[in-house]
Amino acid sequence: MMIRRMFDFPDVSLRRQMEDFDRLRRQLDVLNGRFMGSGDLQRTGVFPLINLSENKDAYFVRAELPGVKANELDIQATGNSMSISGERHIPEENGSAKYHRREREAGKFSRMISLSNEIDPEHVEAKMENGILTITLPKAEKAKPRQVTVK
């Protein structure tokens, strides 16, 4: 006890700091609950999972969409953005089923992706294979890098 008072032993200040962090975490949880609803995946905008890559000619978007049919997707491409929207259906369990874990949800989804360069919306291609949607977004001619020769 005497050592704590004389040397301000770190245990006391550490406890206060941890209490402050805990209070901050609780406040952020309250704010998150107000703005994000229940916090499920569809509301927070993380479904479908997407990878975005590029080379000198095009952007490539790959989205995981298991169980979603290609004809149920709406893909829009303009200037320097694209969006994917649709609806995922999951068969209902019988009425007496009790869930132990429920991570897959059904419902409508929408993802908007902003790109750093303009694309050519007339030549966008999309294909679905084994639950993976692959979209090829060719870059506009003015956005492609040009080789400059030094004279």
- Residue ranges per domain, the chain? 2-36, 42-91+105-143
pLDDT exceeds 80 at position 23:
yes
Task: Give the confidence band of 92 by pLDDT, cuts at 50, 70, 90.
Answer: confident
The third-level CATH classification (topology) of the domain covering 42-91+105-143 is: Immunoglobulin-like (2.60.40)
Position with higher pLDDT, 39 vs 135: 135
> Is 110 buried (19+), middle (13-18) or exposed (0-12) by CB count in 10 A?
middle
Q: Under DSSP, is residue 17 helix (H, G, I), strand (E, B) or coil?
A: helix
Answer for the pair 82, 76: CB distance below 8 angstroms, yes or no. yes
Average pLDDT over residues 71-95: 89
